[in-house]
């Protein structure tokens, strides 16, 4: 089905007449009639009924309208993406998928190095497993992803481990454990209210607390790292967050290592059919090494 047929259908619906649609589209009324007839033949239904001096959509026409508008919008986005892809290719653009926690520090460090070397880059916000699909389809040249110990990266993709990331404990500065040294046993926080993050992180936190014999009292769930810090600072609860989050800590929050907390591996993933650009790989390896020097919860692997 040609997009121009859908465009003509939407124009008739909006104008309420074939003549009005013709004026909008800059074509003749007979041309509009022919396109609507062609569309009706392809679908096998009547789309309009004559009413007064104009037309109104049938039940089938009303149903088609929502689909037509969505399809035309998607087609417009597709055309824009294709044109943008050509522009990026001619300007040495790279497109990288990354999840927010990594983007804020790990990827940002790599982007700084790449841009300084004359490479333009687009970072697409995507969590696993969606980011793997972006790599498979070629929408992104690579993805920064993560796996927990009981998970494996897809076998149809190549990967390079960048760092092992531990979760760290966020406490209000006035908390009794905030000023102590050494790692904290999670069981010491069994009576505390807890703030948790995305479903995946929440699952890992609950597994860790269950292993230490308790189920935490969950008072808030949010993906917003800034909100988590503000809630902890206000004394609303305690939280376990990935170590990279702790590098953007705010006043009023103490960060402590924990015993038996979750950990995950951060990796660069790319297609076996499309090798990752060496400059991108090297920039991410360098950024991970630099962050490991300032974060106790991040270790280069």
Q: Which is more confidently placed, 210 or 248? A: 210
The set of residues, in sequence order, having a beta carbon less than 8 Å from that of 225 and lying 6+ positions away, is 100, 101, 104, 197, 241, 245, 248
- Average pLDDT value over all residues in the chain: 91
Is residue 131 very low, low, confident or very high in pLDDT (cuts 50, 70, 90)?
very high
Residue 82 has pLDDT above 90, yes or no: no
Determine what percent of the chain is predicted with pLDDT higher than 90. Answer: 70
* pLDDT recorded at residue 53: 80
Question: Tell me: the pLDDT tens digits for 28-47?
Answer: 999 999 999 999 999 999 99
State the CB neighbour count (10 A cutoff) for residue 97: 27
* pTM, entire model: 0.68
pLDDT given at position 204:
92
Q: What is the predicted pLDDT for the residue at 83?
A: 75
Say if residue 111's pLDDT is above 80: yes
Three-state SS letters, the chain? CCHHHHHHHHHHHHHCCHHHHHHHHCCCHHHHHHHHHHHHHHHCCCCEEEECCEEEECHHHHHHHHHHHHHHHHHHHHHHHHHHHHHHHHCCEEEEEECHHHHHHHHHHHHHHHHHCCCEEEEEECCCCHHHHHHHCCCCCEEEEEECCCCCCCCCEEEEEEEEEEEEEEEECCCCCCCCCCCEEHHHHCCCEEEECCHHHHHHHHHHHHHCCCCCEEEEECCCHHHHHHHHHCCCCEEEEEHHHHCCCCCCEEEECEECCCEEEEEEEEECCCCCCHHHHHHHHHHHHHHHCCCCCEEEC
What Cα–Cα distance (Å) separates residue 181 from each residue in 208, 234, 237, 257?
21, 22, 20, 9
Distance, CA of 162 to CA of 262 (rounded, Å): 17
State pLDDT tens for residues 41-75.
Answer: 999 999 999 888 889 999 999 999 888 888 888 88
In angstroms, the CA 75 to CA 41 distance is 22
pLDDT tens, residue by residue, 251-294: 899 999 999 999 999 999 999 999 999 999 999 999 999 999 99
Hey, what domains does the chain have and what are their CATH numbers? 1-86 (1.10.10.10), 91-163+264-300 (3.40.190.10), 164-263 (3.40.190.10)
Q: Is the pLDDT of residue 105 over 80?
A: yes
Task: Using the predicted structure, report yes or no on whether residue 90 has a pLDDT greater than 80.
Answer: no
Give the pLDDT band (50/70/90) at residue 172: very high
């Amino acid at each position: 089905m040609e997009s121009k047929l859908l465009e003509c259908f939407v124009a008739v619906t909006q104008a309420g007449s074939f003549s009005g649609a013709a004026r909008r589209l800059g074509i003749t009324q007979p041309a509009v009639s022919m396109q609507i007839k062609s569309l009706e033949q392809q679908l096998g239904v009547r789309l309009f009924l004559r009413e007064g001096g104009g037309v109104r959509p049938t039940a089938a026409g009303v149903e088609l309208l929502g689909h037509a508008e969505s399809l035309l919008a998607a087609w417009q986005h597709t055309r824009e993406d294709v044109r943008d892809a050509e522009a990026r290719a001619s300007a040495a653009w790279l497109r990288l998928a990354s999840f927010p926690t990594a983007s804020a520090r790990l990827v940002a460090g790599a982007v700084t190095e790449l841009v300084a070397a004359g490479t333009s880059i687009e970072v697409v916000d995507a969590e696993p497993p969606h980011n793997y699909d972006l790599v498979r389809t070629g929408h992104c040249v690579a993805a920064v992803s993560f796996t927990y110990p009981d998970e494996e990266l897809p076998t149809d993709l190549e990967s390079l481990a960048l760092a092992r990331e531990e979760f760290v404990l966020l406490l209000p500065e006035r908390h009794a454990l905030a000023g102590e040294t050494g790692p904290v046993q999670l069981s010491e926080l069994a009576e505390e209210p807890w703030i948790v993050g995305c479903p995946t992180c929440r699952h890992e936190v609950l597994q860790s607390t269950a292993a230490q014999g308790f189920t935490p009292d969950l008072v808030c769930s949010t993906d917003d790292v800034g909100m988590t810090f503000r809630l902890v600072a206000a004394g609303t609860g305690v939280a376990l967050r990935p170590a990279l989050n702790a590098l953007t800590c705010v006043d009023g929050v103490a960060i402590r290592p924990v015993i038996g907390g979750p950990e995950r591996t951060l990796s660069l993933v790319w297609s076996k059919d499309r090798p990752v650009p060496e400059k991108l790989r090297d920039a991410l390896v360098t950024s991970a090494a630099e962050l490991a020097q300032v974060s106790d919860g991040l270790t280069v692997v």
